[in-house]
Structure formats: structure tokens, C-alpha cells
Chains A and B, each alone.
Chain A
Amino acid sequence: MLVRIAGNLARFVLSLLAATLAVFALMRVLPGDPAAIAAGENATPEVVAGLARQFGTDRPLPVQYWDWFSGLWRGDFGVSYVTRTDISPLVADKVQVSLILVTLAMALALALAIPAGTIAAVRHNRPSGAVISAASQLGIAIPGFLLGIVLVSFFALRLGWLPANGWVAPGVDFAGFASRLVLPVIALAGVQSAILVRYVRSAVLEVMHEDYLRTARAKGLSPLGALVRHGLRNAAIPVLTVTSVQFSALIIGAVVIERVFVIPGLGSMLLSAVANRDLLTVQSVVMVLVALTLVVNLLVDVLYTIVDPRIRAAAQGER
């Protein structure tokens, strides 16, 4: 167990290191000079050179990399030369927004997908199961932003029940915060639950044919009782894997929903930073994303061992 976690941690650190190099190199290969963008369409070469000096982008690349990397080591993303502010508090702020949005959407997606997928599996040869399967197929095909636009035009514009877009910090006005979250969370959860339904369904279908389930039935448990007590736990592993992958993808993938609903999340921040060639901010946001993905993977790994004692036993066997 400990070896396993230590191994994971080592991989975690190595991945982060590789990511710093990759993102730094990628941002330097991208066409477009940050000083030229800041100088704009009336710029003279002198002005661009002056800005490059101020930004520090005229220094040799290894110096720039080391400068950034040594800051990262101290937990400091540095000061963006484009926005002229500390990057760390800004990123921290946007991470919270994205995490609230994505966590709620994922929770809603799971709350919908687990029962729906289970029903679809249990009744897979009955019409009701087929309807759920067909609906999930359709759900996957509907892009989240489209669902978002439809939700807005119906609930916000026609009925006037909810605000159309925007973001209010929960500490400022909780009712405003919650009411603005409803539609984006549903829009984001829609596609996700459709995807997850399919995984839940196939995972449950698989365990339904296992011997231990027949044994449980033989002991006198009802079909559903047997499935809930013995089957779901086994079906959980593939679902957990998909959930973790989707979760990481959503943090950035939510940028489209952020645009539709004008939510100042990490994705929007990354987009505008790339457009302005705000290299340091882009690097910082990408590092946060890499770290988040790795943390989610680490957590899922721990969850595996909790859900499935066999993995725990195997890990102990290794030792």
C-alpha cells in the first residue's frame, strides 16, 4: 500500500516536472510576441523592444524558464507582465469557480446516471431499458452549449425563472450565486450523465452475469436487492475511472459553458491568457490543471482500494 502510494507520488512529481518543460516550450513555439501584442497596431520597433525588456521576454529562454520554475518551487506563479498583477491569487480564485461548477455538475450527472444506468441494465430487454439507452445516445449527441442555450431561452428568457448568465460569489449573495449556477450545472451535467449512463449500464450488465449474484439470489435476495448489495460495488470500478477522466476533462472543457453563461472560470482565464500571449499566466493555469488531474487520479487510486478490497490485497501482496 505504502509502496503503491509512494510510487504514485514519484510519478506525480515527474509528471509535473515534464509538464513544466512541455508547457514552457509550447508557449515559446506559439507564433505571436507578447510585447508586440501589448504595443498594438501603432507600435514602433522601439516601443516593442522597450516592452520586451520590461516583460523580460528578451532574456535567454533557459533564464526565463529557470526564473519561472524557481518561483513555482516556492509556490509562487509570479507577476503577469500583461495584467501586472500576482497570478497566484487570480488562479486560486478561478480554480474555485471551476471546481464548484464541475463538482456540482459531476455530482448531478452521477445522481442521474447511476440509477438510470442500473435500470437500463436490469431492464435491458424491456422497452423502458431501451428508452433509457436511446435517450443517452441522444444526450451524448447534444453539445452542452446547445443545451445551455436552450435552457437559457426557456427558463431565463421565456419563463424568467432564473438569471440568463453571470456569476456572483457565494459570500456576496448566496441566493444569486445558487440561482446562477442551476442552468450551467444542468447544461454541463446533461452530456456527462448521458455518457455515464452507458458506462453504468455496461458495468452493471457485466456483473449481472456473475456467479456471486446468482448465489445471492439463491440465498433469497430479490434481484434488485442482490444487485444493490453485491453487484454495484463491483460495477463501480469502471464507472470511477470514467468519472475521473471526465472530471479532469471538464475543468477545461467547461470553457464553452463558461462562455455561454459568462462564468469567470479557469477555462475562460486560460483562453484570454492565450489570446494575449500572457505566457506566465498560461503556464500557471496549465500547471494547475496538470496538478488537478494528477490529484484526481491519485484520489481515484485510493478510492479503488476502498471500493475493491481485492486491489488492496494485491497491493499488500506486492509488498
Chain B
Amino acid sequence: MQAILTARRGRRGARLAAVLAALLMLAACSAGSTGGAPADKDKLVVALTGEPVNLDFTTTAGAAIPQAMMANVYEGLVTLDQTGAIRPLLATQWETSNMNKSYTFTLVEGATFSNGAAFDAEDVKFSIERVKSAAWLNGLKSKMDDVEEVVVNSPTSVTVNLARPSQAWLYSMTTLVGAMFDPSGVDDLANNPVGTGPYKLASWARGESINLEARPDYWGAAPGIKDVSLRYFADAIATTNALSSGDVDVIYNMQAPELLSSFESNPAYQVIEGTSNGEVILSMNNKAKPFNDKRVRQAVLYAIDRKTVRDTAWNGLGTLVGGPVPPTDPYYEDLNDRYPFDPAKARALLKEAGAQDLKITFTVPTRPYATAVSEIVQSQLRDVGIDAKIQSAEFPAVWLDTVFTRHDYQMSVILAVEARDLLTMFNNPNYYIGYDNSKIKDEAAAADASDEATYVEGMKNVVRTIVEDAPVDTLFIFPNISVAKAGISGLGANSVTEALNLAPIAWS
């Protein structure tokens, strides 16, 4: 093709020469800006997918906002480490009392917000109560429903009283609903976030990049890199091109595993594969025909070879789990053996249910993983006599409207990214999956109200009950793939929180 272009332009000798000369001069200007070594160890450019529409997660859903803001600009009292265990952050320690209904947190001293205000117990009270107020318009606010009151004991001590004991509540405090705000800093959260984190917003060129700068007055250890630029790319190839040409240093949470091969063999780069909270779920409408019949749903689970789906759709990356729980959750267990790939059994179940020669509509959101998954699922379903017609739905707008809000679907596939979303998905019969939660409701509540060990055992039972009923097929756990220049350290492999934690990252 290059030859053709040259041939076409060959006729315009002098002009072409002039253009080329100009090209070369411009190239000379930019020479040196590319290459493996960092120009400046105080700078880092991270490539991400999907720019936030604004920075206010208290009124706007979506993973992009907490990805950029949590851990970096905002902090909670507690956080998660890479294995998913709860660790102190703005609270140095905490203890429970009153039959696990009260949590008393001891706060760090000397923490300040980026607007200069000091962080103390009043801010904790303000932040938690604000989640419960009308100011928060984010579905996740229900995670604070159990909070009855917040009592300030002293500037560095605060007690939260819950309506009932809850293991899940402390975990929720590690997420965005636990972010700490300053009463004087919430006027323009969409554009001007004010938090206690190691970074503050330096500038935001909409449609291009969010630029963060390290706070010299940060209460904790100084972050490894001073200026971090989060650049947003709509196109996966443009992302890898930018890394290859040296314009970006890291691609985080990469969405195109087929583009990894060129980096895997190159010592100038490191490919980091971790796990995430996201389950790729083949959801079925449990309240509508034909999937209101448990046998038909089970037939789907037997009909689909999840390993082949993952290997074909996502280059073999991602974890096979067999249930809707990621490996980093405490109540995870390997349930791959419950529904092994068994087309004969699937056909038998369909026959028993009187559901042979099924014709269904498969609503597929316009996302790379969903499109990739849908065709292989379709062909495997066809083998057992289910004719799934793929219908594409623009994501998020149309998918949210038809599938999520109006429940007008039979089968869909979605990446459920919310952390510990098991009960969100299955303990609510009005959720779009429509799972009849009567069997798990009481056990889930009892588990949440007990001590940690009983909680984990109880939740494992809940998971087994759900998987037995086959409301969805958990195809695989979405991998968290990062590609970074070899000189970068401290980038967390797993995406266990909603945040991309920038502070530990440094150039070696």
C-alpha cells in the first residue's frame, strides 16, 4: 500500500519533496520526546479508557470517576490492600462494641484537606450523614442505610451506631460511600474535588487528560511521582501506539488483550495481569419465559463451555470461577465443578422442561467484551437447540433503559464491576435478573449480623444456593491487565478497589 501511495504522489515530484522536507523538520523538532527512559522521574502518564463526565461520584454513577478520584484525591477511614483485606487509612484503628452494632474509629492526626482545612471527627460525621441526605444521588448510597447515628467523641474519635450488626458495612466504608469530605469543600464537586488524599486536581483538559499533582502538605508518606496525567483513549490501538511511541508510560485496565503480544516479548515493557471485582455475567431474565424455568437456566450453564468462551473472547485472560464471586472476596470458593460443560445434559434438561427448539433474543451491550463473548455463546447455545438472536444495545443509554430499567429482555451479558455485588444482584427480586431471593434472604441477613468467620461461612452457603438455582452464568472474572514501561514499580496488579492507587507508583 505504501508503494501505491508513493506511486500516486511520485508524479508531483517537487511538491512531495517539499512536504517531506517539512515532515523531516517537524520530526526533528520532536525527536527525543520518545523512547524508553523517562524524561523526568517526577512525571507519569497513565492511559485509561473512558473519561469521567464530571468528577462528582456523589451524583454520577460510573467506574471512571472513583478510578481517578478515590485513593488519590479522596480517602476513606479504611481501605483495602491488594489481597482484599481491610486496612487502616484515615482511621488508625477501630473497635466494635454494643454487640457489633457500634464502630469506634480513632483518627489520624494532622491530616488536612487540599483546601487547607483540618480533618477531624466532625468531617466524618458530616461525610457519612451526607451520604444519607438528599445531596447524594447515587444508587450506592443505600450502603449507608444501616447507619443510625454518628457520634463525635473527640476531634480524633468518632462512633458510628448501626441499626443492626453488619460485616458488610465496614467493607462499604472502603468504597466511595466512605470518602471523607470537608463541609466547605463540597460546592463544586463536579469540577473541584477537595479531599485528604496524596494528590489534588491540578487541571482537567476535557476530552484529553486529568492532571493530578502531589500535595506537599499530605499527612502520609509522599507519593512516588509528583505529576500524574491520566489520559483518556477511546481507541485501544491508539492506546498501544501511544505507549510504543513513548507518549504514555502505563496502560491500566487494558480492554484489548489481543494487542498484548507485542509487549510481552519486549523487555522494555512489563505486562501485569491481575484480577478484578468484575464478573462477566450471562444474565437471564428469571421472571420471563423461557428462563423462569430453573431447568432451562441450568441447561444454559451446562451448554456453555466457559473456558472456550474466555479463551476465544478474551485471549485466555481472566479467571474461571463458576459462581458470581471474584477470588478476592472473603466468601469466594471455586465452583467450576457444579456445571461442567455437558451438552448432552443440557439437551436432556431442555427436553424435560419441554423447551426444545427455543428461540430467544440475546441483548448484547455495545462493549468489546460483550461483543466478543456473544458470538461464541450463541454458537454453543445453538448446539443444544437454543437459537439466540443477537440484538445489539447501545451501552449505557439503551441497555440501561431496556434491560436494566424495563427488564425487557431474555438474555444479556454484562460486566458487573461493583465490588461485593452478590447481594445487590441476587437479594432483590426487583433487580433486572429477577432472582427469587426467598431462599437466601434470611441466611444472608443472619450472616451479615454475625462475627467474621460465621459471616464467611454463611455467605458461602448463600452463594451455593444461588449457583444451584442458576440465575446467571458467571462466564469469567474480568482480568485487570496493565502494560507499563519496565522502569515502573508499585503499580497494583489487582483491581480490588474501585480506585487506581497512584501513590505507590515510582520510577526505579
Contacts and interface: CB of A to CB of B under 8 A. Distances in A.
Interface of A: 30-33, 36-44, 47, 50-51, 54, 82-85, 90, 94, 111-112, 115-116, 119, 128, 131-132, 135-136, 138-139, 142, 149-150, 152-157, 159-167, 175-176, 178-179, 182, 190, 259-262, 264, 268-269, 271-272, 275-278
A84 B204 CA distance: 13
B206 A179 contact: no
B111 interface: no
A35 B267 CA distance: 47
Nearest to B136: A47
A29 B191 CA distance: 30
A297 to B, nearest CB: 28
A43 B430 CA distance: 12
Interface of B: 1-2, 4-5, 7-9, 11-12, 15, 22-24, 26-27, 29-31, 33-35, 51, 53-54, 56, 59-62, 134, 137-142, 188, 190-191, 205-208, 231, 233-235, 237-238, 241-242, 244-245, 247, 394, 396-398, 400-402, 404-405, 416, 418, 424
Given A42-B139, A51-B137, A176-B30, A182 B245 contact: no
Contacts of B400: 32-33, 36-37, 40-41
A260 B59 CA distance: 32
A269 B207 contact: yes
Contacts of B188: 84
B397 A275 contact: yes
A259 B247 contact: no
Nearest to A268: B207
Do most interface residues of chain A lie in helix, strand or loop, or is the interface mixed? helix
Given A82-B54, A135-B4, A162-B26, A119 B11 contact: yes
Nearest to B405: A36
B50 to A, nearest CB: 9
A303 B83 CA distance: 68
B143 to A, nearest CB: 9
B241 A152 contact: yes
Contact of B238 (A42, A154, A155, A261): A261
Contact of B34 (A32, A152, A160, A182): A160
Nearest to B402: A31
Contact of B247 (A84, A135, A166): A166
A38 B139 contact: no
B2 A32 contact: no
B71 to A, nearest CB: 20
Given A83-B206, A268-B234, A40 B397 contact: no
A270 to B, nearest CB: 11
Contacts of B190: 83-85
Contacts of A41: 61, 139, 400, 404, 416, 418
Nearest to A119: B11
B241 A182 contact: no
A31 B363 CA distance: 15
Contact of A262 (B22, B24, B26, B235): B235
A27 B7 CA distance: 46
Contacts of A268: 207, 234
A84 B56 contact: yes
A264 B208 CA distance: 6
A176 B34 CA distance: 12
Contacts of A131: 7-8, 11
A278 B52 CA distance: 13
A159 B405 CA distance: 51
B11 A164 contact: no
A42 B30 contact: no
Contacts, number: 201
A159 to B, nearest CB: 8
- Residue of B8, B9, B208 ringed by the most chain A CB atoms within 10 A: B8
Given A43-B139, A50-B137, A277-B397, A264 B205 contact: yes
Contacts of A260: 235, 237-238
Contacts of A182: 22-23, 26
9 contacts: A36-B404, A47-B137, A83-B206, A164-B247, A178-B26, A179-B26, A190-B5, A260-B238, A262-B208
Nearest to A128: B11
B242 A165 contact: yes
Contact of A47 (B138, B234, B247): B138
A277 B53 CA distance: 11
- Residue of A38, A119, A269 ringed by the most chain B CB atoms within 10 A: A38
A31 B53 CA distance: 19
B245 A164 contact: yes
A39 B137 contact: yes
B137 A84 contact: no
Contacts of A178: 26, 29
B242 A157 contact: no
Nearest to A256: B235
Contacts of A135: 4, 7-8
A115 B12 contact: yes
Given A42-B418, A112-B15, A31 B397 contact: yes
Question: Which 8 pairs across A and B sit closest by C-beta, in order of nearness?
Answer: A40-B61, A32-B397, A42-B139, A264-B207, A135-B8, A161-B27, A84-B190, A164-B241
Contact of A138 (B8, B30, B140, B396): B8
Contact of B61 (A33, A38, A83, A278): A38
A132 B9 CA distance: 9
Given A156-B245, A268-B207, 11 more contacts: A37-B400, A39-B138, A40-B396, A40-B400, A42-B61, A159-B27, A162-B27, A165-B238, A176-B30, A264-B207, A277-B397
B245 A43 contact: no
B139 A47 contact: yes
B241 to A, nearest CB: 4
A164 B238 contact: yes
A155 B31 CA distance: 12
Contacts of A38: 53, 59-61, 137
B324 to A, nearest CB: 14
B398 A31 contact: yes
Contacts of A30: 397
B401 A33 contact: yes
A165 B139 contact: no
Nearest to A52: B137
- Residue of A51, A90, A138, A163 ringed by the most chain B CB atoms within 10 A: A163
Given A39-B61, A112-B15, A175-B30, A32 B398 contact: yes
B109 to A, nearest CB: 34
A156 B33 CA distance: 12
Contacts of A40: 60-62, 138-139, 396, 400
A43 B237 contact: no
Contacts of B23: 155, 161-162, 182
A115 B61 contact: no
Contacts of B140: 42
Contact of B2 (A132, A150, A261, A271): A150
B4 A138 contact: yes
A161 B134 contact: no
Contacts of A276: 53, 397
Given A42-B418, A84-B190, A131-B11, A165 B30 contact: no
Nearest to A44: B139
Contacts of A179: 26-27, 29-30
A268 B206 CA distance: 11
Nearest to A94: B207
